[in-house]
């Protein structure tokens, strides 16, 4: 019998399928809007320009300066462009960085958001916005941050480089693992978490073998959607706090840091949350931490924080920072425990 729980369905409309990029115009109309500002990074500018061209009069223009960690200075510039363009909604085309910009605009001016998600990070289905200003990253959580409509078109991920696909996929899997032992986990988010893990575990090796495998791309995007909903529905613990510490305090890249740490944080919590993690552990041969590390290693994921530039001398400082503010976690978060975990992850050792 399930333990008592509270379940709130994740609102928002999801349109999934190859070629669905073509439905952006219909989705703008469905929101009662008429003119969208199309957002992207500089790298995805050609895609944003092509989308704006295909929208014709429904495009108010493009803004292609989205950047990692959502700098407030970029958001302020985008707000001016939004206002001057006469837009009444935003279309964010890209990964977490572009989606973050759309959320930051909408949080300030209530613009309806359509997201065309092109990585596996999952931000498009969460009510979380991380922003940086004066070298500090802060996070806000507000229902109005969650985009109204999400379009998943696997065709747009065919060119996502393999290395990024692998890291981004493991980033998504981390949401699912932590969702399983979340204090507010419920049967529905746990079903989504296990199915998300299964889908990504099946898809990522096929993407590594053949990056343009359309079925594998669709399955990975489907898995990342499920994992994203888990992230947006229940509380995250050790893994996400530690990644936040390393990202904010040491400027470590987002997806790669998640990819390296997830086997270690899963191993740290494995015994304390054995029941709740059992279905995930089964997928990885019974030992979740070790199994995830073997899986990550087999698909060529980064394994060592040292390779991302974290120095030996940073480890103690990171462990200190990680235990500064207490939060719920299945196993007590101790400085020694975290230092041991980080030391193994630093050199790329398999977790014990």
Q: How far is the CB of 66 from ligand NAD (least distance, A)?
A: 7
* Residue 351 C-beta-side C-alpha neighbours within 13 Å: 28
How far apart are the C-alpha atoms of 25 and 59, rounded to whole Å? Answer: 9
H/E element, 189: helix 187-209
Q: How far is the CB of 146 from ligand NAD (least distance, A)?
A: 9
Q: Which is nearer to ligand NAD, 48 or 281 (CB)?
A: 48
How far apart are the C-alpha atoms of 9 and 209, rounded to whole Å? Answer: 36
173, 196 contact by CB (below 8 A): yes
How far apart are the C-alpha atoms of 15 and 65, rounded to whole Å? Answer: 26
Q: Which is nearer to ligand NAD, 152 or 284 (CB)?
A: 152
Q: Which is nearer to ligand NAD, 104 or 338 (CB)?
A: 104
The DSSP 8-state label assigned to residue 136 in this structure reads: E
Q: How far is the CB of 165 from ligand NAD (least distance, A)?
A: 9
Q: Which residue has the tokens 């390779």?
A: 307
Q: What does R_g of the chain's alpha carbons equal in angstroms? A: 20
Closest CB to ligand NAD: residue number: 96
Q: How far is the CB of 95 from ligand NAD (least distance, A)?
A: 3
How far apart are the C-alpha atoms of 203 and 197, rounded to whole Å? Answer: 10
Q: How far is the CB of 38 from ligand NAD (least distance, A)?
A: 13
Q: Which is nearer to ligand NAD, 59 or 128 (CB)?
A: 128
Q: Which is nearer to ligand NAD, 34 or 137 (CB)?
A: 137
Q: How far is the CB of 34 from ligand NAD (least distance, A)?
A: 27
Q: Which is nearer to ligand NAD, 168 or 329 (CB)?
A: 168
Q: Residue 288: helix, strand or coil by DSSP?
A: helix
Contacts with ligand NAD by CB under 6 A lie at 41, 43-44, 68-69, 94-98, 100, 118-119, 121-123, 126, 128-130, 156-157, 159-160, 164, 168, 231, 254-255
């Amino acid at each position: 019998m399930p333990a008592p729980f509270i379940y709130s369905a994740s609102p928002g409309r999801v349109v999934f399928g190859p070629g669905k990029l073509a439905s952006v115009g219909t989705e703008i109309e469905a929101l009662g809007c008429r003119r969208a500002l199309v957002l992207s990074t500089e790298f995805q500018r050609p895609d944003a320009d092509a989308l704006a061209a295909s929208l014709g009069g429904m495009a108010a223009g493009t803004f292609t300066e989205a950047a990692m960690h959502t700098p407030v200075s970029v958001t302020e510039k985008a707000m001016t462009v939004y206002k001057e363009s006469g837009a009444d909604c935003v279309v964010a085309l890209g990964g977490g960085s572009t989606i973050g910009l759309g959320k930051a605009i909408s949080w300030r001016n209530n613009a309806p958001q359509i997201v065309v998600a092109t990585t596996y990070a999952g931000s498009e289905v969460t009510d979380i916005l991380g922003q940086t200003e004066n070298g500090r990253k802060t996070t806000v959580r507000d229902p109005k941050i969650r985009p109204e409509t999400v379009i998943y078109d696997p065709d747009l991920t065919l060119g996502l480089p393999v290395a990024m696909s692998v890291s981004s996929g493991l980033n998504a899997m981390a949401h699912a693992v932590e969702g399983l032992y979340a204090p507010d986990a419920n049967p529905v988010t746990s079903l989504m978490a296990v199915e998300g893990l299964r889908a990504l575990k099946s898809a990522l090796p096929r993407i590594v073998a053949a990056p343009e495998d359309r079925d594998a791309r669709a399955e990975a995007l489907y898995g990342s959607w499920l994992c994203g909903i888990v992230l947006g529905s229940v509380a995250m613990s050790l893994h996400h706090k530690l990644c936040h510490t390393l990202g904010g305090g040491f400027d470590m890249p987002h997806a790669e840091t998640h990819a390296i740490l997830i086997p270690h944080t899963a191993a740290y919590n494995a015994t304390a949350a054995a029941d709740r993690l059992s279905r995930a552990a089964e997928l990885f041969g019974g030992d979740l931490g070790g199994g995830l590390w073997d899986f990550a290693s087999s698909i060529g994921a980064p394994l060592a924080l040292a390779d991302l530039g974290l120095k030996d001398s940073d480890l103690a400082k990171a462990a200190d920072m990680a235990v500064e503010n207490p939060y719920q976690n299945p196993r007590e978060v101790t400085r020694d425990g975290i230092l041991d975990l980080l030391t193994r992850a630093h050199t790329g050792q398999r977790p014990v």
